Amino acid sequence: MMLQTLLESIRTKLATQTTHPVYFVYDPAAFQTRETTMFLLGLDTLALDQPFQASDATYAAFSAKLCLTLLMPQETDARTISALLFETLLSGLELSGYAVSEITYEAPSYARQFRRLQMRAEFTLSGVVRTTEEAVTT
């Protein structure tokens, strides 16, 4: 549950910074039903420290490497796809409240399987997740 809450929190923050949908890479929705411009959020690695109990909740420190891929129509120019990815990612991560230690961008490329132009960014976040019996918060 903590992993899902963490990913949902990041997806929500990114989604507030764009008019385009942000899907998880493992989203089972049919690809053909999605918009032509979209973001895909995925998890590469996750490291959790030993949780510790306080009087009000359980806390766990984490470090996660995630990737955000932007897909746009193939006729999109590199400046447009780069600007949208940079703006959405940086402003969304700023709102997340987590520490960002590294961001790596790849050059735009054509993704044949999607028939779209794609650009990918990998980033590393760290922070503390707070869980209670009633709800999980970050």
Domain limits, the chain:
2-137
Residue 107 DSSP code? P
Cα gap 99→101, rounded to integer Å: 6
pLDDT of residue 1: 59
What CATH number does domain 2-137 carry, 2.30.110.10, 1.20.58.340, 3.30.2000.30, 3.30.710.10?
3.30.2000.30
Per residue in 67-114, pLDDT (tens digit) is 999 999 999 999 999 999 999 999 999 998 899 999 999 999 999 988
50: which DSSP letter? P
Q: What is the pLDDT of residue 16?
A: 95
41 pLDDT higher than 90: yes
What radius of gyration do the chain's Cα atoms show? 16
Q: What's this model's pTM, rounded to 2 decimal places? A: 0.86
More confident site: 98 or 31: 98
Q: What share of the chain is helix, strand, coil (3-state, %, to 5)?
A: 25, 45, 30
Q: What is the pLDDT of residue 134?
A: 58
